[in-house]
Amino acid sequence: MPGDDEIRVELGQRLEGESPLVEARMRDGESRLVDRLVVIEEQVEVDRSRPEARALASPSERAFDGQEGVEQLPRRERRVDSRSPVQEPRLVEVAHRVGLAEGRHRDDLDSLRRVQRRDRRAERALAFAEVCAEADVGAGHHATLTVRGYPATLARASIALSLLALALSPSALAARAASPPPATPGLLSIGAYERTLVQLERGSLAGEGGTLVSPAQKIWVLPTRAAQRVLPALLARGIVRAVEPDRPIELLRSSAEPLIGLEYWRALVGADVATAPGPGKPITVIDTGLDVTHEEFASRPNTILLGPQNLSESDDEFHGTAVSSVAAAPENGLGVLGVYPQAVLRSVDVSGLSVANVIAALTEAMRAGPSVINMSFGVPYTRLLEDTLLIAFRTGSILVAASGNERQERTAAGPPGNLAHVLTVAATDQRNEPAVFSTASLGVDLAAPGVDIPGAVPRFVTSSGYAALDGTSFSAPIVTGATAWVWTARPTLDNTQIFELMRSTATDVGDEGFDRDTGFGVLSIPNALTSQAPPKDPSEPNDDIRHVRAGGLFRTAVAPITAPNRPRATFRAQLDVTEDPEDVYRVFVAAGRIVRITATPDTDVDVDVWKSSASSVFLRGTARTRNLLATSGKDGKAAERVSVPNRTKRGFYVYLDVYLPRSGSLDARYALTVATVRP
């Protein structure tokens, strides 16, 4: 457990002087493409997470003894102005790195540096035959629904829109650091909401009216009044890991004409010059329910409903049907043609539009097996949701999210699109220019057309059953369908390789290189099919110690890169300031031996080695001094070298952290060598 000398921040200190967080909502009846906002102030209380329990060290993995005399290598200090707003939300600050504490906004990094990303284009193209041989909405999300005739004259109609401000709770930013148990702050934060999310160490809340939404994480949702009644006793027993309000999510809006000739976007992404494969890697659409009575889906093969699909004649209910049609409408001679017509299409209904329902939907998607998961919605930040997304990525899925539609308001992108290990999609128009509504962000990975996208909608929305869709909600499923297509054509690649392939092979538009409007460029299916595959990025997500140790985010520890029977390891990996800012590995140090570690980057990385007692790579002050074994922070492409000796008679494990220094590049690739040698 963390010592008393580790940094503590009390609730009162964190809230002192802070202005209320702001929630913005659309006015009913406003019908512009990008509507005006009415600001509604809402006070949000800060929540703090419980310290993570750590199992006692086994004989082969005991805690490192500070008296064993490990050398501390000199490093340069890379301090940041303490007045920087980027540092302010941290519970435990580390001035020399750019790794994002959980819940921090990826756009915060813009104020730190404006370094251009380097060119990530594949070095060579493979022959197409060679490839074949390989076995929106929410905070920042809204769009218009343009109803059109079938095929009658164009007629415009509007749907009132609402959006939720994505306020990042300061408590979420502390998740990478040790902190006191969740007591009063958790209770204060839930009063304004009807339901509450509670994560337990053990036990059940079924008797209190709770519903288990994630068995693996032991997350329950229950009425807030019941939560307020039972939580004090549960907190006193020390079995509560987290308490969060079950906040609402918001969906994007949209519309289509039933003619493939209107699908201009197919040529822009190269869907017209390659033939999509048969059923392969599944697509999972987490959204409102799918209208299985619609002609596009009534007899569509390989359409799997993961739970009931609840449709009501409300403004939101067309959304899931429209998103699914853009990704996977079949080639049936009717209205529209999806990106991947024969895809295995899974649909999970989150019509309740709350964080608990999204967690439950992600859990259901994982239970069905790895897939490409589309999220065309926005949510407030919660650690429980972020953890669920990380688990989905670790278990083999690829997560795709819309960036948002608040370009003109200059609203920053929010979750899930601004979280690490999520492929974030912006929108472009017919000229490959940024759509007038598409949110610009450092976290944007690539773009796809999102203006006048034909899609299927329930007939209670329009009698034709089709509409023209505007919004990043409909750019995202184009990328989702393409990602499943490419993964099916290249089945030997894992999710980390496909994730990077879709970004790095995009067609550069606008200013040369990466930009906040379109990321690495506009989706290119032919490039993704024929470009050389990037290397695997092992052990992802491994952005902090709790991601790799037993009993942290995952029940079992990540396999160490060296072990008693494996004294040496060599591999390549990569870092990205928004998608993968840290790589943390477990390393075994044999009795009477020295482990020598060398990281050779193509730009600049730094290296830290931590004791097995460390709770996070973001420790500071005396906690950092007590737990840090070795560090190296040379400038530029110089190799980083550290050594960890073991002068005892028993082996132990340490944590190796490779990360991007704050003053360095926005991404890096590196070769890592770990060797066990005699003194």
Per-residue pLDDT reduced to its tens digit, 17-32 = 333 323 333 322 322 2
Which CATH number goes with the domain that contains 671?
2.60.120.380
Give the largest CA-CA distance in the chain: 83
Higher pLDDT, 431 or 46: 431
Residue with tokens 């401000």: 165
Q: Is residue 128 part of a domain?
A: no
Q: Is residue 507 part of a domain?
A: no
pLDDT for 9 = 32
Please, what sign has the CA dihedral across residues 334, 339, 340, 344? negative
Tens-digit pLDDT profile for residues 385-434: 999 999 999 999 999 999 998 887 777 778 899 999 999 999 999 999 99
Residue 402, domain extent: 250-266+275-495
287 belongs to the catalytic site: yes
Cα–Cα distance for residue pair 85/195, rounded to 1 Å: 32
Q: Where are the alpha helices (DSSP H) in 345-494?
A: 355-368, 383-394, 472-489
Q: Is 479 in the same domain as 596? A: no
Q: Is residue 123 part of a domain?
A: no
DSSP state at residue 532: P
Q: Is 178 in the same domain as 258? A: no
Buried b (16+ CB within 10 A) or exposed e, 111-139: eeeeeebeebebeeebeeeebeeeebbbb
Given the residues 136, 246, 287, 608, the one annotated as active site: 287
Which of 435, 461, 495 finishes a domain?
495
Please, what sign has the CA dihedral across residues 415, 416, 421, 427? negative
Q: Is 481 in the same domain as 617? A: no
Given the residues 473, 539, 613, 632, the one annotated as active site: 473
Cα–Cα distance for residue pair 441/413, rounded to 1 Å: 6
pLDDT for 299 = 94
Higher pLDDT, 95 or 35: 95
Q: Check: CB of residue 434 under 8 Å from CB of residue 284.
A: no
Tens-digit pLDDT profile for residues 346-385: 999 997 778 999 999 999 999 999 999 999 998 888 999 9
Q: Is residue 122 part of a domain?
A: no
Mean local confidence (pLDDT), 598-625: 96
β-sheet bridge partners, residue 642: 597
| Burial of residue 649 (number of CB atoms within 10 Å: 0-12, 13-18, 19+) | exposed
Residue 452's pLDDT band, with cuts at 50, 70 and 90, is very high
pLDDT for 94 = 37
- Specify the range with the lowest mean pLDDT, choosing from 47-51, 187-191, 445-449: 47-51
Cα–Cα distance for residue pair 109/360, rounded to 1 Å: 31
Which CATH number goes with the domain that contains 389?
3.40.50.200
Q: Is 299 in the same domain as 425? A: yes
The pTM of this model reads 0.73
Q: Is 105 in the same domain as 177? A: no
Higher pLDDT, 136 or 632: 632
Q: Is 443 in the same domain as 565? A: no
Higher pLDDT, 116 or 67: 116
DSSP state at residue 649: S
Tokens of 361: 């939907």
Higher pLDDT, 251 or 56: 251
Q: Is 477 in the same domain as 604? A: no
Q: Is residue 153 part of a domain?
A: no
Packing angle, helices 472-489 and 319-328, rounded to 10: 40
96 belongs to the catalytic site: no
Given the residues 319, 387, 397, 441, the one annotated as active site: 319
Q: Which residues lie below 8 Å from residue 561, measured CB to CB, with a gap of 6+?
A: 538, 569, 571, 585, 586, 587, 656, 672, 674
Q: Is 282 in the same domain as 386? A: yes
Q: Strand 145-147's sheet: what is its strand order?
A: 145-147, 466-469, 453-456
- Specify the range with the lowest mean pLDDT, choosing from 119-128, 265-274, 473-482: 119-128
Higher pLDDT, 121 or 504: 504
Q: Is residue 409 part of a domain?
A: yes
Amino acid at position 562, single letter: T
Q: Is residue 643 part of a domain?
A: yes
Mean local confidence (pLDDT), 244-261: 59
pLDDT for 172 = 32
Cα–Cα distance for residue pair 435/254, rounded to 1 Å: 15
Tens-digit pLDDT profile for residues 119-163: 444 433 333 332 332 333 344 444 445 433 323 222 222 222 222
Q: Is 47 in the same domain as 71? A: no
Higher pLDDT, 276 or 46: 276
Q: Is 104 in the same domain as 174? A: no
Which of 495, 529, 558 finishes a domain?
495
Domain count, the chain: 3
β-sheet bridge partners, residue 38: 25
Q: Check: CB of residue 594 under 8 Å from CB of residue 644.
A: yes
pLDDT exceeds 70 at position 226 = yes
Range list of β-strands (E), 420-537: 422-428, 446-449, 453-456, 466-469
Tens-digit pLDDT profile for residues 59-97: 333 333 333 333 333 333 332 333 333 332 222 333 345
Higher pLDDT, 20 or 448: 448
pLDDT for 187 = 60
Higher pLDDT, 313 or 444: 444
Residue 260's pLDDT band, with cuts at 50, 70 and 90, is low
Q: Mean pLDDT for the chain?
A: 76
Cα–Cα distance for residue pair 309/298, rounded to 1 Å: 13
Q: Is 291 in the same domain as 419? A: yes
Q: Is residue 200 part of a domain?
A: yes
Share of the chain above pLDDT 70, in %: 70
- Specify the range with the lowest mean pLDDT, choosing from 145-154, 278-287, 350-359, 552-561: 145-154
Q: Is 337 in the same domain as 432? A: yes
Cα–Cα distance for residue pair 356/371, rounded to 1 Å: 21
Residue 644's pLDDT band, with cuts at 50, 70 and 90, is very high
